Amino acid sequence: MALPDTAQRVADLLAALGHDKPVVLLPASGKTSAEAAAGLGCGVAEIAKSIVFRRLSDDAAVMVIASGANRVDEQKVTAIVGAVGRADARFVKERIGYAIGGVCPIGHLEKTLMLIDQDLLQLDSVWAAAGHPHAVFNLTPQQLVAMTGARVADVALRA
């Protein structure tokens, strides 16, 4: 089965990076971490979800790649990159290049400030969106850091 155009773009980018795992299409939507985990038969923590914010000082896109089991603490993100606000679907599509629900951590249209949840580094492998709500790819947390060049930080909301 052919991949949707945005997922094929991610597959081509992964191949160019020498990544040896394929883009996988889920039978149902992977828009949420729980849906993706259910479709893959893995734990919610193993979903590397991409949350996009808008930095208030300069309108830059800020992406946090977090464990699907965690909520992102905006105050922690603000302490690292400056004050942030929510990014709407249009902002995400125009700046990052993907629709919400399939936002991939690589292949962005513009330079993106990126942070990776330190909790992901405790896992053997994670699944990230591949540019489409039904498309994902598997990689190690170390590969995620290498592919994105993102800073690893404590971004999880803790009770």
The whole-number pLDDT of residue 119 equals 98
In a domain, 126, yes or no: yes
pLDDT at residue 159 is higher than 80: no
In a domain, 158, yes or no: no
pLDDT at residue 139 is higher than 90: yes
What average pLDDT score do residues 68-93 get?
97
Report the half-sphere exposure of 91 (CA within 13 A, side-chain side): 16
CA-closest candidate to residue 25, choices 100, 157, 122, 130: 130
In a domain, 59, yes or no: yes
Domain range holding 51? 5-153
The whole-number pLDDT of residue 99 equals 94
In a domain, 13, yes or no: yes
In a domain, 60, yes or no: yes
Alpha helices per DSSP H over 17-109: 33-40, 74-81, 89-95
In a domain, 159, yes or no: no
Average pLDDT across the chain, whole number: 96
What average pLDDT score do residues 76-82 get?
98
In a domain, 135, yes or no: yes
CA distance 157 to 78: 13
Residue range 81-123, pLDDT digits in tens: 999 999 999 999 999 999 999 999 999 999 999 999 999 999 9
Tokens describing residue 150: 């993102």
Dmax (CA) of the chain: 44
What average pLDDT score do residues 54-62 get?
98
Q: Name the pairing type of β-strands 113-117 and 61-67.
A: parallel
pLDDT at residue 30 is higher than 90: no
Q: For a pLDDT cut of 90, what percent of the chain falls above it? A: 92
pLDDT at residue 53 is higher than 90: yes
Q: Do residues 126 and 140 lie in contact, with contact meaning Cβ atoms separated by under 8 Å?
A: yes
Kindly report the CATH number assigned to the domain that includes residue 106. Answer: 3.90.960.10
Q: Which residues pair with 126 in a beta bridge?
A: 139
The whole-number pLDDT of residue 136 equals 96
